[in-house]
């Protein structure tokens, strides 16, 4: 399908920080996607926790499979709205690169460790990785991605940080909107984890059909499936319910966004940036139901004691790593080498970058070595 007039394409792109010659066999956004897939940070996602620690079971989502699911959902929606499919794919694949080991617990504790040194935020870290920390190319630092890919990766940003970021931070100060592709990747993330965390929570024996039947978005499909197919197994009921739920939400997002796009009639990307609202949105009713599910997961899954036990352990590990590295002033290895008398803020940032880049299992082995 041809790109719509409001989609991002390489001819109207704000381009790369460092100018490069045009790629021979692919377009500019395909080049971005390929650079992300070939990055070391992307490969590490396979050993990073989404909700359940990677070694707890082989069937749970990891950051990598989560990112692939986000990309699949985002591409389906992009294609039906005439948006740039490769751009949403790149944003989706890169959106969680900055996550620490051990999921949100890891990020919260690293942020605590960094409180005197400018804090730690996984979103900003994803951008930092693609802009600075991947050092593989001869001619530039980072992956030198297109502006629109970087803009989509930086979903949120405080005003304080936005001021330090130059062009990419401007929209948070001027209250402009990002491209529709960025808006879409953000929502596809929420649709994806709301759906797969139910699946993983059920598989772990933490969530039950009884509890879930109270949630509107889930309950309405569960009820129908149980009636239509009284003979199928619980696992089939779960899968069938989730697949109908997720297609319903995707359908709602497509219909409602089409309606908003029609209504606001953006002629180009500037109209999208200056629009008074985000044009990629769920309908009010579905948004409500989607939030209900999100709140349910927060109380019954993320704060469940099994998950919480892991959270506590993760916090101790991250804190121990940070404090040990901070108190030492010797070379730890090639990636963590401190100059004597190094400024503590710079040192702390170097340590945060190092810890954030760890996989779960590397963090555990470092913790065992150091404690």
Give the number of residues in contact with Mg ion, rule: CB under 5 A: 2
* Residue span binding Mg ion (CB under 5 A) among the ranges 135-143, 188-196, 211-219, 318-326: 188-196
Name which of 81, 60, 70 is nearest 36 in CA terms. 70
Interface with Mg ion, residue 200, by CB under 5 A: no
**Residue 69 binds to Mg ion (criterion: CB under 5 A):** no
CB of 17 or CB of 96, closer to Mg ion: 96
Q: For Mg ion, which residue of 10, 148, 189, 252 counts as binding (CB under 5 A)?
A: 189
DSSP string covering 123-144, please? HHHHHHIIIII----SSSSTT-
Nearest-angstrom CA–CA distance, 240 and 162:
43
Contact between residue 105 and residue 315 where contact means Cβ atoms under 8 Å apart: yes
**CB nearer to Mg ion: pick between 35 and 48:** 48
Backbone angles phi, psi at 95, to 5 degrees: -65, -25
- Smallest distance, Å, CB 97 to Mg ion? 10
Q: Which is nearer to Mg ion, 96 or 366 (CB)?
A: 96
197 counts as binding Mg ion under rule CB under 5 A: no
121 binds Mg ion (CB under 5 A): no
Tell me the helices (H) and strands (E) count for the chain, helix number first.
Answer: 18, 0
Applying the rule CB under 5 A, the residues between 299 and 328 that interact with Mg ion are none
Calculate ∠ Cα 61-206-304, nearest 5°.
95
Name the residue number minimizing CB distance to Mg ion: 189
Size of the chain, expressed as the number of residues it contains: 371
Tell whether residue 186 is a contact of Mg ion (CB under 5 A): no
> Of the listed pieces 147-155, 189-197, 255-263, 287-295, which binds Mg ion according to CB under 5 A?
189-197
Instruction: Tell me how far apart the alpha carbons of residues 96 and 325 are, in angstroms, rounded to a whole number.
Output: 25
CB nearer Mg ion, residue 89 or residue 96: 96
Smallest distance, Mg ion to C-beta of residue 63, A = 8
**Which CB sits closer to Mg ion, 96 or 121?**
96
Least separation in angstroms between residue 189's CB and Mg ion is: 4
Q: Is 360 an interacting residue with respect to Mg ion (CB under 5 A)?
A: no
Burial class (CB in 10 A: 0-12, 13-18, 19+), 217: buried
Ranges of H-type helices in 204-283: 209-213, 216-228, 234-264, 269-274
Distance CA 344, CA 116 (A): 10
96, 121, 197, 200: residue in contact with Mg ion (rule CB under 5 A): 96
d(CA 138, CA 326): 31
Which residue's CB is nearer to Mg ion, number 39 or number 144?
Answer: 39
Nearer to Mg ion, 74 or 114 (CB): 74
H/E segment holding residue 193: helix 180-203
CB nearer to Mg ion: pick between 122 and 177: 122
* Smallest separation, CB 66 to Mg ion (Å): 6
| Window of 82-90, 95-103, 117-125, 296-304 that interacts with Mg ion by CB under 5 A | 95-103
Report the distance separating Cα 110 and Cα 351, nearest Å.
10
Query: What single-letter DSSP state applies at residue 63?
Result: H
Binding to Mg ion (CB under 5 A) within 224-283 occurs at: none
- At residue 327, the 3 state secondary structure works out as helix
Q: What is the smallest separation between the CB atom of 67 and Mg ion, expressed in angstroms?
A: 7
Pick the closer one to Mg ion by CB: 51 or 143. Answer: 51
For residue 64, the number of C-alpha atoms closer than 13 Å in the C-beta half-sphere is 17
Q: How far is the CB of 70 from Mg ion (least distance, A)?
A: 6
State how far the Cα of 175 lies from the Cα of 169, in Å rounded to an integer: 10
Alpha-carbon distance 244 to 225, whole Å? 10
Binding segment (CB under 5 A) for Mg ion, from list 116-124, 183-191, 240-248, 252-260: 183-191
**Least Å from the CB of residue 197 to Mg ion:** 11
Interface residues toward Mg ion, by CB under 5 A: 96, 189
């Amino acid at each position: 399908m041809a790109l719509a007039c409001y989609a991002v394409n390489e001819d109207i792109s704000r381009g790369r920080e460092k100018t490069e010659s045009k790629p021979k066999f692919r377009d500019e956004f395909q080049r971005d996607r390929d650079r992300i897939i070939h990055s070391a940070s992307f490969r590490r996602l396979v050993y990073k926790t989404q909700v359940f620690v990677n070694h707890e079971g082989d069937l749970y989502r990891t950051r990598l499979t989560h990112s692939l699911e986000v990309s699949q959902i985002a591409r389906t929606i992009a294609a039906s709205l005439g948006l740039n499919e490769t751009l949403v794919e790149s944003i989706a694949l890169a959106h969680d690169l900055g996550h620490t080991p051990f999921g949100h617990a890891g990020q919260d504790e690293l942020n605590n460790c960094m409180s005197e040194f400018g804090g730690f935020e996984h979103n900003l870290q994803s951008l930092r990785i693609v802009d600075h920390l991947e050092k593989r190319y001869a001619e530039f630092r980072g992956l030198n991605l297109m502006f629109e890919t970087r803009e989509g990766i930086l979903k949120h940003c405080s005003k304080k940080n936005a001021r330090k970021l130059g062009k990419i931070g401007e929209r948070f100060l001027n209250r402009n909107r990002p491209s529709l592709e960025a808006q879409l990747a953000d929502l596809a993330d929420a649709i994806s984890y709301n759906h797969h965390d139910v699946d993983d929570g059920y598989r772990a024996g933490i969530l039950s059909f009884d509890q879930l039947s109270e949630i509107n978005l889930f309950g309405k499909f569960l009820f129908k499936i149980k009636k239509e197919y009284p003979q199928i197994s619980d696992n089939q009921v779960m899968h069938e319910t989730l697949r109908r739920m997720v297609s319903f939400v995707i359908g709602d997002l497509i219909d409602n966004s089409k309606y908003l796009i029609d209504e606001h009639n953006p002629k180009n990307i500037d109209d999208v940036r200056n629009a008074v609202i985000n044009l990629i949105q769920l309908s009010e009713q579905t948004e409500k139901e989607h939030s209900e599910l999100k709140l349910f997961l927060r109380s019954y899954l993320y704060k469940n004691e099994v998950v919480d036990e892991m959270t506590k352990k993760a916090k101790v590990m991250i804190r121990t790593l940070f404090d040990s590295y901070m108190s030492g002033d010797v070379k730890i290895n090639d990636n963590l080498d401190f100059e004597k008398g190094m400024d503590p803020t710079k040192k702390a940032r170097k340590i945060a970058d190092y810890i954030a880049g760890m996989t779960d299992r590397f963090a555990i082995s470092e913790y065992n070595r150091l404690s």
